[in-house]
Homo-oligomer: A and B are copies of this chain.
Amino acid sequence: MDFATAKRINQLLTTVYGDIVRVEELALRKSQFKDISIKEVHAVDAISMYEHKTTSEVARELRITPGTLTTMVNHLVRKDYVQRIRSDDDRRFVRLGLTRRGRLIYRAHESFHRKMVESFAKDMDDEQLHIIEKALLNLEAFLEFASPTPNK
């Protein structure tokens, strides 16, 4: 790969995520959901629609500590996006679910991402999509090699 191309691709890779977050944040401010931050939306996304995962499971998925998620969930409960459901079989567990309002923003967020990926892969055939997925998987493998995840 020539130097200039590497530079451009690096630039794109490192810019794109920040741009996604910025656009999402902006869209929230202009929507009916002004009281929720993008991090909180990602928590809503991880909690997801029907699974009722535990606090620890969701925290692991978000790569934050359970303590951090607890305060986040406090806010999200107060703002009526999330509900806590104590497990009946083992009352140490707290299972998390979305309220009606939580499900609304979940779907809005999902729809944004669907549109985003669609436009990302616009005019591409299966083979081209495969190349892109391969590249992203290469990247994941590099990162995994650079710093192995403790798999539990």
Contacts and interface: CB of A to CB of B under 8 A. Distances in A.
Interface of A: 1, 5-6, 8-10, 12-20, 22-23, 26-27, 63, 113-122, 124, 128-129, 131-133, 135-143, 146-147
B132 A135 contact: yes
Q: How many copies does the complex hold?
A: 2
Q: Binding site of A, secondary structure by majority: helix, strand, loop or mixed?
A: helix
Contact of A147 (B13, B15, B26): B26
A27 B140 contact: no
Contact of A117 (B13, B117, B128): B13
A136 B6 contact: no
A131 B131 contact: yes
Contact of A119 (B26, B114, B138): B138
A18 to B, nearest CB: 7
A40 to B, nearest CB: 16
